[in-house]
């Protein structure tokens, strides 16, 4: 498989983007403030997906469940990042090796060496976009707990102070509860 084909395959992050979109959809079903979800929405976009429509998603039962889903997605992104770095380094090494042989005057394989250099250059360009996407998604997902914490800090203080939230059991929505 060519370096370009490997880079294209690795750059397919639809699975990660869909997982981020599902987390966002479940957050909306939970009733979380859309402004607090901005980091998740931005990570979803960085991974090439759009927010999922509809409110039929299973709500998160607890904040721990949501944070667990975010941590799992961050782990998957970190794994992809490590694979990206390994492939990027292998491609850069292959290109440097082909250039070195070409510069040393290896004329019998000149066409193959030039094709390898072109393949590697294309692959590195593709991989540079992947690195940007994974980095942005990771940074935004790391910001999500703080954004949620800022939005819901008063509710957390209330609960940790021994008091209780409203009876409907949902996270604070600001909407009146209908009986």
**Which of 38, 5, 8, 35 has the alpha carbon at shortest distance from 20?**
38
46 and 80 Cβ atoms separated by less than 8 Å: no
- Here the tokens at position 2 are 């060519």
Are 37 and 28 within 8 A, CB to CB?
Answer: yes
pLDDT of residue 177: 54
pLDDT tens sequence across 90-101: 999 999 999 999
Instruction: Kindly report the length of the chain.
Output: 179
Residue 8 to residue 158: CA distance in whole angstroms: 49
Residue-wise DSSP of 95-138? HHHHHHHHHTT--TTHHHHHHHHHHHHHHHHHHHHHHHHHHHHH
Q: What is the pLDDT of residues 6-42, one digit of tens each?
A: 999 999 999 999 999 999 999 999 888 888 899 999 9
- Averaged pLDDT of the chain: 88
Give 107's pLDDT tier (boundaries 50, 70, 90): confident
The ranges assigned to domains in the chain are: 3-160
pLDDT at 146: 84
Would the pLDDT of 176 be above 90?
A: no
């Amino acid at each position: 498989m060519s370096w370009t084909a490997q880079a294209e395959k690795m750059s397919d992050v639809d699975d990660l983007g869909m997982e981020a979109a599902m987390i966002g959809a479940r957050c909306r079903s939970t009733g979380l403030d859309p402004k607090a979800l901005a980091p998740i929405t931005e990570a979803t976009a960085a991974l090439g997906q759009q927010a999922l429509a509809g409110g039929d998603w299973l709500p998160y039962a607890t904040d721990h469940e949501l944070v667990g889903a975010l941590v799992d997605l961050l782990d998957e992104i970190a794994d992809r990042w490590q694979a990206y770095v390994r492939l990027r380094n292998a491609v850069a090494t292959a290109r440097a090796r082909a250039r070195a042989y070409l510069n040393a005057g290896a004329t019998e394989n000149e066409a193959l060496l030039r094709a390898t250099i072109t393949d590697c250059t294309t692959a590195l360009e593709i991989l540079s976009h992947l690195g940007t996407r994974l980095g942005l998604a990771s940074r935004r997902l790391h910001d999500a707990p703080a954004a949620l914490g800022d939005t819901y800090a008063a509710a957390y203080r209330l609960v940790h102070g021994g008091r209780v939230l409203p009876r409907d059991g949902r996270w604070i929505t600001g909407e009146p509860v209908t009986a």
